Amino acid sequence: MSHDLPPQPLTATAGLALQGALRPPGDKSISHRAMILGLLSIGETRVEGLLEGDDVLRTAAAAQALGATVERLGEGQWRIVGVGLGGLSDPEGVLDFGNAGTGSRLMMGVVGGQPVTATFDGDASLRKRPMRRILDPLVRMGTEVVSEEEGGRVPLTLRGPREAIPVTYETPVASAQIKSAVLLAGLNAPGVTTVIEAAATRDHTERMLRLFGAHVEVTAHGPEGHGRTIALTGQPTLRGTDVVVPADPSSAAFPLVAALIVPGSEVTIKGVMMNPLRTGLITTLIEMGADIERLREREEGGETVADLRVRASRLKGVDVPPERAPAMIDEYPILAVAAAFADGTTRMNGLHELRVKESDRLAAVADGLKANGIAHVIEGDDLVVHGDGTAPKGGGTVATHLDHRIAMAFLVLGLATREPVTVDDGAMIATSFPSFLPTMQALGGRIA
């Protein structure tokens, strides 16, 4: 094993229908960004509903190491006193981001644009992930890569310039992390930094930069307006503000699919963020025939949120177009589980980015499906799952490869298969959904 804790195997067993209501934890993407913009602004930022998972706590520790005052006031309530653009100090030790790809990559953008030097490291999963995609644009903006592991991996050390160079950067893959790193470095550039993306990715950085006082212009381009051009005016005065974090749709996905596949279930999931760049899974499940009602739509923290009432449903196989991938990039493992219960074939197209997540998710999902007797095939970058509308056999043990979403997806599978499903290590669930176990147990799910 490659985290320091002993592995925590968990087993899910089918039981009675799931019933009840829950509020998933705060959105991980927004929680990281609140810490980072809190660090870069002048004055106090108060965050309500922060995800207190290991990934975000690593970003909080890094913000503190770079000079911010970070305090926990109560459950999900945090206070950050920032240092302002230009006020960062060299951290004393290594910035250890654990399993957190988003935290580390966004903070590379921060350090890469400011006159500080910092070393980034992480766990065995993070040490495998490609950082060249972040370093390439940063080098163009004036960042010096002092040292790096082979292929641009952590541990690596960055030294930022006195002022960043404003650039126009076309992202080579659809990635909100690349876009965000460039924009965060561009905060310290004298001029306009522009990011061009062929397909729109989650826009939390743009929205939050505006909330803190930066000027950001966004225009749509390309076929059917799928692309985005984002132009940030550098060297703004960022002022601390209040941030309310809505519930994470990527965490909501697990109880949601559980309620669909466990016969007789009815579950309400409250306060889920409905940002259209995050709701691809819900769109897909509704196409599959899922009974999901959006109730009490309202605004919270600058985002639309809704309560989702989910009832067990007969699902049918569908084709998921590649253009939808950015809006559901973290949801393919749990969609593959839903597809295993559907009648017919579900084809998920264009999943190449899944190979560079916390694990090679395409391989991890395929291995997990195989271990549980679920017919599937990988064709190039597509995953094809065949279901016959009945509960799969299950009975397998799934290797999670330090990947929280692989662990949660296959535990959900085991809530409805004919035989229990075991995951080899559930420890990483704490990175994004620390209350996953008690939450699922409170609904009636048998996971232990």
Minimum distance between the CB of residue 423 and ligand S3P, rounded to whole angstroms?
A: 19
Q: Strand pairing of 266-273 and 303-311?
A: antiparallel
In the numeric block, the tokens 């225009």 are attached to 219
Q: Which one, 135 or 176, has the nearer CB to ligand S3P?
A: 176
Minimum distance between the CB of residue 32 and ligand S3P, rounded to whole angstroms?
A: 6
Q: How far apart are alpha carbons 106 and 185 in whole angstroms?
A: 9
| DSSP reduced 3-state for 133 | helix
Q: Which one, 29 or 125, has the nearer CB to ligand S3P?
A: 29
Minimum distance between the CB of residue 8 and ligand S3P, rounded to whole angstroms?
A: 22
Minimum distance between the CB of residue 180 and ligand S3P, rounded to whole angstroms?
A: 6
Could you tell me which residues are annotated as the binding site for 3-phosphoshikimate?
Answer: 28-29, 33, 175, 177, 330, 357
The contact set with ligand S3P (CB under 6 A) reads 29, 102, 175-177, 180, 202, 329-330, 353
Q: How far apart are alpha carbons 288 and 339 in whole angstroms?
A: 9
Minimum distance between the CB of residue 330 and ligand S3P, rounded to whole angstroms?
A: 5
Q: How far apart are alpha carbons 145 and 209 in whole angstroms?
A: 26
> Number of helices and strands (H, E) in the chain?
12, 24
Residue spans of beta strands (DSSP E) within 14-102: 19-22, 42-48, 69-74, 77-83, 95-96
Distance of CA 165 to the CA centre of its chain: 29
Q: Which one, 163 or 303, has the nearer CB to ligand S3P?
A: 303
Q: How far apart are alpha carbons 100 and 118 in whole angstroms?
A: 16
Q: How far apart are alpha carbons 127 and 39 in whole angstroms?
A: 25
- Please give the torsion angle defined by the CA atoms of residues 148, 153, 154 and 159, in that order, rounded to the nearest 10 degrees: 40
Minimum distance between the CB of residue 249 and ligand S3P, rounded to whole angstroms?
A: 11
- Distances in Å between the alpha carbon of 423 and those of 49, 68, 69, 365, 372? 29, 38, 38, 12, 11
Cβ-based burial of 297 (10 A; exposed 0-12, middle 13-18, buried ≥19): exposed
Catalytic residue among 55, 123, 203, 330: 330
Could you tell me which residues are annotated as the binding site for phosphoenolpyruvate?
Answer: 28, 101, 129, 177, 361, 405
Residue spans of beta strands (DSSP E) within 222-338: 227-233, 242-244, 266-273, 291-300, 303-311, 319-320
Minimum distance between the CB of residue 79 and ligand S3P, rounded to whole angstroms?
A: 22
- What string of DSSP letters covers 375-437? -EEEETTEEEEEEESS---B--EE--TT-HHHHHHHHHHHTTSSB-EEES--GGGGGT-TTHH
Could you tell me which residues are annotated as the binding site?
Answer: 28-29, 33, 101, 129, 175, 177, 330, 357, 361, 405
Q: Which one, 111 or 329, has the nearer CB to ligand S3P?
A: 329
Sheet of 227-233, strands arranged across: 168-170, 192-197, 227-233, 216-221
| DSSP reduced 3-state for 113 | helix
439 Cβ contact list (under 8 Å, min separation 6): 22, 24, 255, 433
429 Cβ contact list (under 8 Å, min separation 6): 404, 407, 408, 436, 437
330 an active-site residue? yes
Residues that are catalytic: 330
